[in-house]
């Protein structure tokens, strides 16, 4: 089914100003985001290094491309959702990259989580190439991407943000312009700092509760109804109780993000003592071979350090 036919079937209608959206990077987050854009009525083209992900987008009503250059040729908006700063640079720069191959006036939205200084530098390069750059990292994990309920923090020109709003609203629920280029990545770094700290403390709380033989499921229910309640508790508590660390957001990516946090804090002269400790715990968990687990897998190291592993 073409994306136009899919829009008719679902009732979605893309705004007239933006028709074609390219998504580069169809991983855990990028693929469900692309599917939601199809459902919203956009003509969605996807590119991914693994062709099977492209096939899954095509099955959902999108179209596939065999290269970055092909994927962006007719795009009104290009979204990049790749793992790290070098990956973003790899797809946007060079003679076959987004900057060289996208048409003038294309809005480029980088939804990846990368270094704020890299985001600002690439925004300058994009603008020189005639593109309209926005750094728009997301929070909410795989489920948020599936439900089109992501929180999106956006850096860039206010006019470009408003122009891109229909696209962002197709994949997110809380969408906020937070400042000039690089600001979205700065806010995302703060987000990852808070999330990592919450996961670590939740892991310690679960180990503590189990040590006393408490009904942990009941305990997390009542904790979730009070001041200790959080989305981290809601989404990660059950995974810890069940020792189910199927990835929604991999530890190796959170390790990368905590590196961004600590480097940016050092550059700004800001002290983040608890953040630095959690960053070390994340690094230790990845170093022992658990980087492919969900970031709730921090629980494994916490349990081991408490001498309670193997339960």
pLDDT tens profile 245-289: 999 899 999 999 999 999 999 999 999 999 999 999 999 999 999
- Cβ atoms within 10 Å of 190's Cβ, excluding its own: 16
**pLDDT for residue 3:** 35
**Domains in the chain: boundaries:** 20-181, 187-306
Number of H helices, E strands in the chain: 15, 9
Residue numbers annotated as active site: 188
Confidence of residue 311 (pLDDT cuts 50, 70, 90): low
What average pLDDT does this structure show over 127-142?
96
What average pLDDT does this structure show over 187-216?
98
**pLDDT for residue 10:** 37
| 187-306 to CATH, choices 1.10.10.10, 1.10.1040.10, 1.20.120.1200, 3.30.70.260 | 1.10.1040.10
User: What is the spatial distance between Cα 307 and Cα 288, in angstroms, rounded to a whole number?
Assistant: 17
pLDDT at 155 over 60: yes
pLDDT of 51-84, one tens digit each? 999 999 999 999 999 999 999 999 999 999 999 9
Helix, strand or coil for residue 55? helix
As given in the structure block, the two tokens for residue 265 are 């804090």
Q: Domain 20-181's class?
A: alpha beta
Residue pair 98/88 in contact by the 8 Å Cβ criterion? no
Helix, strand or coil for residue 23? strand
């Amino acid at each position: 089914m073409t994306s136009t036919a899919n829009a008719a079937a679902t009732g979605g209608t893309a705004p007239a100003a933006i028709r074609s959206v390219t998504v580069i990077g169809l991983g855990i987050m990028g693929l469900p985001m692309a599917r939601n854009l199809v459902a919203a009525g956009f003509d969605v083209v996807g590119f991914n290094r693994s062709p099977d992900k492209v096939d899954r987008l095509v099955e959902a009503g999108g179209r596939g491309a065999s290269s970055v250059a092909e994927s962006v040729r007719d795009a009104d908006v290009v979204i990049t959702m790749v793992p790290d700063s070098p990956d973003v640079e790899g797809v946007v720069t060079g003679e076959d990259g987004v900057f060289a191959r996208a048409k003038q006036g294309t809005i480029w939205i980088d939804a990846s989580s990368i270094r704020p200084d890299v985001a600002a530098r690439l925004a300058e390069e994009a603008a020189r190439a005639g593109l309209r750059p926005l750094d728009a990292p997301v929070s909410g994990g795989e489920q948020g991407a599936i439900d089109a309920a992501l929180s999106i923090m956006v850096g860039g020109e206010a006019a470009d943000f408003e122009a891109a709003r229909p696209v962002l609203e197709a994949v997110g629920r809380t969408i906020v312009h937070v400042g000039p280029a690089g600001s979205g990545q700065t806010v995302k770094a703060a987000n990852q700092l808070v999330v990592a700290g919450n996961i670590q403390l939740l892991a310690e709380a679960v180990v503590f509760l189990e040590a006393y033989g408490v009904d942990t499921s009941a305990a997390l229910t009542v904790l979730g109804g009070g001041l200790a309640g959080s989305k981290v508790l809601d989404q990660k508590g059950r995974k810890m109780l069940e020792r189910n660390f199927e990835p929604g957001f991999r530890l190796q990516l959170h390790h990368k993000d905590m590196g961004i946090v600590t480097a940016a804090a050092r550059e700004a002269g800001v002290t983040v003592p608890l953040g630095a400790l959690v960053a070390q715990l994340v690094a230790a968990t990845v170093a022992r071979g658990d980087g492919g687990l969900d970031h709730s897998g921090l629980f494994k190291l916490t349990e081991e350090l408490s001498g309670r592993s193997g339960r």
